[in-house]
Amino acid sequence: MTHAGPAPAPSTASTASGSFVEWGAVLAGAFLAASISFVLLTFGTAIGLSATSSWPNSGASAKVLATLAVLWAMMQQIGAFMAGGYVAGRMRARWHEPTQHEVEFRDGLHGGLVWAVGIVIGAALALATAGAAAKTGIDVASKAAGMAASSSVEPMDAVLDSMLRPTTVAQATGAPAPPAGAAPAGTSASRGRAANTDETRSEMARILTNSVASGSLSDQNRNYLAQLVAQRSGLSQQEAERRVNEAFTAAREAADKARKGAILTGFVTAASLIISFGAAWWAAMRGGHHRDNSVPARFGFGRNRRSNVLAS
């Protein structure tokens, strides 16, 4: 006596134990997205550097360049993931899904996997090339915009320069190296020259940084910094303390500006990644739709074929 029951479809049974994820299509789309993103970023960097100028009243302003840079970074990332998602959806093999909704979901999921793998590839490349590429980018940006704006200078260095600026030209030119017959070590003149050493500047920078982090400048640190400023600049103790207070305020403003910039960068990056995920998912579904309907993939369209292709 035989048992009657529904027999599974041969195609479904043969693939039930396998994976429904076409990793070849996913990797192809992810590498394509990473390559397109790299090319577009390089192209955008070249355009941004060409828009700067060391001459006054020429070239785009810093705010305009920053806005365009943010928009370009978002657009190139979204476009790159759309291209990668489309390729993954179009290259994915159909597994005889029961409904059209399941087809669209699996196509879109492959686009989401392109996004995920692309993010991992980008993070790995960023970590691997952080030393060389980041240094090269900083050098190029400093050479291009260093003379046009002071933004390429470290904020703390600018604060220290303002604090230790001498009041006379003689003090400024005599500080680096003592002339012949100068006062011996231990005198007030030698201490004034020593106050401008790298060790002293580093110590002053650490004091200001820790004070900004704690939210206040203690009287002990204020008096000590004022003594160093007075030795270097030739100011009175009262004037030196005023410079120290102004420098502390400037350091707090620079730290607050950096904090706001980091917050804005984080929000823009997160928004760009979320939009890129949706774009990759949608593009993968469109790629699957074109695959199922045998729509030719073209970079350009003829006048007589445009309406038919768009309608599909």
DSSP tag of 172: H
Q: Which residues of the chain register pLDDT less than 50?
A: 1-17, 133-138, 140-153, 170, 172-192, 194-196, 301-304, 306-307, 309-311
CA dist 289 and 104 (Å) reads 8
DSSP tag of 151: G
DSSP 17-51: TS-S--HHHHHHHHHHHHHHHHHHHHHHHHHHHHT
What was the pLDDT predicted at 173?
Answer: 46
Cα separation values, 133 from 120, 145, 164, 307, 309, Å:
18, 18, 34, 45, 42
What was the pLDDT predicted at 129?
Answer: 63
What was the pLDDT predicted at 124?
Answer: 82
CA dist 212 and 255 (Å) reads 8
CA dist 289 and 278 (Å) reads 17
Q: CB of 252 within 8 A of CB of 238?
A: no
What was the pLDDT predicted at 310?
Answer: 46
What was the pLDDT predicted at 84?
Answer: 94
Cα separation values, 68 from 173, 219, 264, Å:
43, 45, 15
